[in-house]
Amino acid sequence: MTIDLSARPVATTKMVGGRLCLDFVNTIGGRDSDPARSKKDPYAVIILRDKLNDFVDLLAWSRRAGLLTEAELQALIREGKRREAEAASVLARALALREAIYRICKAIVGKRSPQAVDMELLNQELAQARDHESLIAVADGFDWQWTGSSNELDRMLWPVARSAAEMLTMGDLTRLHACEGEGCGWLFEDTSRNRSRQWCTMEDCGNLAKVRRFRTRSRHTTKPRKSS
Ligand SMILES: [Zn+2]
């Protein structure tokens, strides 16, 4: 049976974070604060509509992000089926990395220090990525290239870890934001000239907020009916 990656919901997810690692963090419908736990743990969230539910979803997202060629994807679909337990552990690592990057970003947005445990996890993934990097000469200079066999199931995690490291070391972290839409929390880099971006997208949270604002306004301006 052939697996159709384009049939997975994550295959058409919006890529609006402005960075690979942020788009990876946004592979969920949204995140809501968890009232039961948030007093003890400011990072406690409930994940709404997770789009990474199995290893194939991870491959579908990798294709969406342009991380792997069709041939590499097909090879990994086959390998994932053959090495099921290993594929499941790559998915678990992916989700752990995703949430660690999310919490590090939330700390930055909230002007707090990130938790050591999250930095440690990112560093572990980064070390694995670094093991597969080599510097090569290209036409107009030099570039990084991923090495290793095309059968390595975790190869999509390497560029994600590297993207997070690049953002943290070289990015303008004052431009990092979390969408304020209800139950959203998607992360993005605000690259607008006047730093005015508030929403993940205008079509989603932006419009919802507009509708809500309009409703509140019209409620406030409705004149009491005259009694005749
Ligand atoms: Zn949003």
How many angstroms separate the alpha carbon of residue 199 from the centre of ligand 1?
5
How many angstroms separate the alpha carbon of residue 197 from the centre of ligand 1?
11
Average pLDDT over residues 115-134: 97
How many angstroms separate the alpha carbon of residue 26 from the centre of ligand 1?
10
Task: State the residue for tokens 């974070």.
Answer: 17
Average pLDDT over residues 132-158: 94
How many angstroms separate the alpha carbon of residue 94 from the centre of ligand 1?
22
How many angstroms separate the alpha carbon of residue 186 from the centre of ligand 1?
6
- Specify the range with the lowest mean pLDDT, choosing from 107-116, 144-153, 192-201, 206-215: 206-215
Q: Residue 32, CB half-sphere, CA atoms under 13 Å: how many?
A: 10
How many angstroms separate the alpha carbon of residue 201 from the centre of ligand 1?
6
- Specify the range with the lowest mean pLDDT, choosing from 25-29, 141-145, 218-222: 218-222
Tell me whether strands 133-138 and 141-146 are parallel, antiparallel or unpaired: antiparallel
Average pLDDT over residues 147-172: 95
Average pLDDT over residues 39-60: 92
pTM > 0.75: yes or no: yes
What does the pLDDT read at residue 100?
98
pLDDT band at 220 (very low <50, low <70, confident <90, very high): low
Closest CA to 42 of 149, 121, 141, 115: 115
How many angstroms separate the alpha carbon of residue 19 from the centre of ligand 1?
16
- Specify the range with the lowest mean pLDDT, choosing from 25-34, 103-112, 209-218: 209-218
Q: What percent of the chain has pLDDT over 90?
A: 78
Averaged pLDDT of the chain: 92
pLDDT band at 161 (very low <50, low <70, confident <90, very high): very high
What does the pLDDT read at residue 228?
43
Q: Is the model's pLDDT at 222 over the cut of 60?
A: no
pLDDT band at 33 (very low <50, low <70, confident <90, very high): confident
CA of 184: how far to CAs of 69, 102, 179, in Å?
A: 31, 13, 6
- 80-100 per-position pLDDT tens digit: 999 999 999 999 999 999 999
Three-state secondary structure readout of 121-141: HHHHHHHHHHCCEEEEEECCE
Average pLDDT over residues 132-157: 94
Q: Is the model's pLDDT at 51 over the cut of 90?
A: yes
How many angstroms separate the alpha carbon of residue 196 from the centre of ligand 1?
14
Q: What percent of the chain has pLDDT over 70?
A: 95
